Amino acid sequence: MIIVSKVIKIKALKYPDILHYEWEGELLRLTPDYVLVLCKPGRKLIHHTKNKVFTVNNTSLEFFSLKQWFTAAMEIEEGKVVSAYCNVAKPSLFQNGEISFLDLDLDYIKEKNKEWKVVDEDEFELNSIKYKYPVELKNGAVKALEKLKEEVKKGNFPFNNQVLTHIENHYLRD
């Protein structure tokens, strides 16, 4: 395990390898299983497919699995996770100081004070045709969504308070 604090680039791709959007964050933890990144308010999200730049004004703790088919961005307020946005995605890659992942459109989200829900199923169907997703990729995404729901339901890492200790440890080092 490596614990560092350096700025890294994060890239979301559409199938097969089309740059979708990108942003930067601070690398908190790198393990053989996942990468954990802290993203601070004021960061720029460059959305290539919309040809726009957005300013994101929240603090989020972002989890990129190197083994499982999802990413998770957890919005943090006053030391608590208040919302979460999970992308169904092929396992992330960490190379040359960058994280990249293949976004497969299906999302599992929890908005503030609301229940978890699946969104963008229509986008998944449209993009599977537009980008010609292979059958194995479509099936893998659907299975990954079910597994992600199970992880959340069980409260497995990063969907528990254990994930917050990484932020606390980060600020203790500063």
132-144 core/surface letters (b: 16 or more CB in 10 A; e: else): ebeeebeebbeeb
Q: Is the dihedral of CA 96, 98, 104, 106 positive or negative?
A: positive
User: CB burial class (10 A; 0-12, 13-18, 19+) of residue 4?
Assistant: exposed
- Residues found in the chain: 174
130-147, pLDDT tens digit by residue?
999 999 999 999 999 999
Which CATH homologous superfamily contains domain 6-173? Answer: FomD-like (2.40.380.10)
Q: What are the tokens at 32? A: 């053989």
pTM, two decimal places? 0.92
Q: What was the pLDDT predicted at 5?
A: 55
